[in-house]
Structure 1
Amino acid sequence: MKITLSSLLLTLFIIITTTFSHLSATVDVIYDSAGNKLLNGIPYYILPLLRGTGGGLTLSSNINNNNTCPLALTQEPFELSYGVPFIITPIVFDEDFIRESYPVSIKADIVADPCQGSKIWKVATGDVVGVTLGGVLNTPESCFQVVEDDMMPGLRSYQIQHCPFKCGLNSSTSFSCYNIGVVSGAGGKGFLAPTDVIFPVVFANSFGGTSVVQSL
C-alpha cells in the first residue's frame, strides 16, 4: 500500500492526540485553596501555606540592584496582605485547567505597571539571580511548573519550580527544575529566587468568596 504524506501526517496527529489525551487523564490537576480546580486565565493570589510566615506575593522595585525596573517578585510582610493576583497559563497544551508538572507561564494581573514592560515572570541571571517581570512566553527563563508538596499531611499545597529545559530553545544539557522560594534581600525584605528551600504555597481565587488562607 502506498503511503502518502497526508496519511502519514494524519497518523502522526492521531498518535500525538491519543498520547496527550492519556497524559491529561493521568496527570493531577492543581486545586485552589477552596478545593476548586485551578483555571487557565483566572487571577489567583499566591499565598504561603503556613500562617505567620508573611503574606502573599507582590511586586516591588528591584531590590537586588537598586533599579526601579523591572519589578521584582517579593512577599508581603503581613499575612493579612494578599499581594497582587497572578494568572497561570499552560505553555505547551491549551487546557482549561492547570495540571501538575506541565510547563506554565505566570503573569501579574495588574493594570498599571510603571515599567510598562512584560508582566510575565522570568528568572533574571547575572550578578544577582531573582524572579522579576519582563519575561517572554515559552522561553527557558520564563518556564515554570507547579508540583504538589507534602509539607503538611492533610493540607494540599504546592511548590513553584523553574524548569528552563521544558520551554523554547535551551542549549543546556541539564534537565533539572529548581524550587522558587523567598530569600532575604536588602533590609530583610523577602524576594523570590531559586533556592533549595521549599516554599509551600496555596492559590486563592481573587474574585472574592474563595480567598481562604489554610491554617494549622
Structure 2
Amino acid sequence: MKTTMLLLSFLLFALSTNPLLAAAQDAVLDSSGERVQTGVDYYVLPAVSGSGGGLTLGPNRNGSNCPLDVVQEQSYGSNGLPLTFTSVNPNEEVVNLITDQNIKFSAATTCVQSTVWKLADFDESVRRSFVTTGGVEGNPGRETLSNWFRIEKYDDDYKLVFCPGVCGVDDFCSVLCGDIGIFVDNGIRRLALSEQPLKVVFKRA
C-alpha cells in the first residue's frame, strides 16, 4: 500500500512539473484520439446516437437569413458543416480544455456577417440566449465577450460552454455563464444556453 501511494505521488508530481505531460492531459481529443488542432477543420457531432446530426447554419428566429444562427442537423449521421477553432492564446496549436476559443464555420454564405460564433442577446420571449454568427475573430476583451466559447469534459465526451474569461484586468465585465444545449424552436434544433448540455465529439473533416 505504501509503495502504491509513493508511486501515485510521484506520477502526480511528474504531471504537475512536466509541461508536455500536462498539455497532453489538457488537450481536447478528436474521435480518433488525436489532439484537436487550431485552424484545422472539424465536425462537431453529437456523442449520443440518435440525438440529431452535426452542426450547421440556419435562419435566425426573426425569419431572416442574416445573420445565420447555429443549428443542429435533424438526421443522425449527417456531419453538418466543418468548423475551426482559434485559441485566445495565439501561439497555441492545440485546442485545450477550458480555454477561450473562437469557433468559425468553414463555409461561404450570402450574408455580409462572418461565420464566427457569438452569443446573441437574451430573448425574453423564450427566456433563452441563442448562438448565432457574425462574431469577431480574435481581439479578446470586453467588446468581444460574446464571441468566445470553451470546451469542457462531460463524462467521457465533451460539452461546449459559454463562460469567457477574456475581460481585461482594467475592465469590469458581467458574464452569464452556461452550457450550450439544444432548444427546439418550430422544429429547428437551435444551439442556446441550456441546463442540459449537448454532449459532443470532434471528428476531423
Question: What's the TM-score bracket when you normalise by the shorter of the two chains?
Answer: 0.7 to 0.9
Structure 2 counterparts to residues 43-192 of structure 1, below 5 A: 43-62=41-60, 64-110=61-107, 112-127=108-123, 129-137=129-137, 138=140, 139-150=144-155, 156-164=156-164, 166-168=165-167, 171-174=172-175, 177-185=177-185, 187-192=186-191
Q: Distance in 1 between matches of 2:150 and 2:44?
A: 14
CA–CA distance in 2 between the matches of 1:127 and 1:49? 28
Deviation, 1:68, is 1.4
The AA in structure 1 aligned to 2:119 is V
In structure 2, stretches of 5+ residues that fail to align are 1-17
- State the superposition RMSD in angstroms: 2.0
What is the match of residue 8 of structure 1? none
Q: Which runs of 5+ in 1 are unaligned?
A: 1-20, 151-155, 207-216
CA-to-partner distance for each residue in 1:122-145, whole Å, 9 max, x for gaps?
000043621111011331101111
Q: What's 1:34 paired with?
A: 32
Question: Under a length normalisation based on structure 1, what TM-score does the superposition of the two structures give?
Answer: 0.75
Cα shift readout 1:118-172 (whole Å, capped 9, x = no counterpart): 111000004362111101133110111101111xxxxx310100113x1245633
Partner of 1:199: 198
Q: 2 CA distance for matches of 1:172 and 1:24?
A: 34
Deviations 1:61-87 (A, max 9, x none): 11x121211000001000121100110
CA–CA distance in structure 1, aligned partners of residues 21 and 134 of structure 2: 30
Q: How many equivalent residue pairs?
A: 176
- Offset at residue 51 of structure 1 (A): 0.5
3-state secondary structure, aligned to 1:70: coil
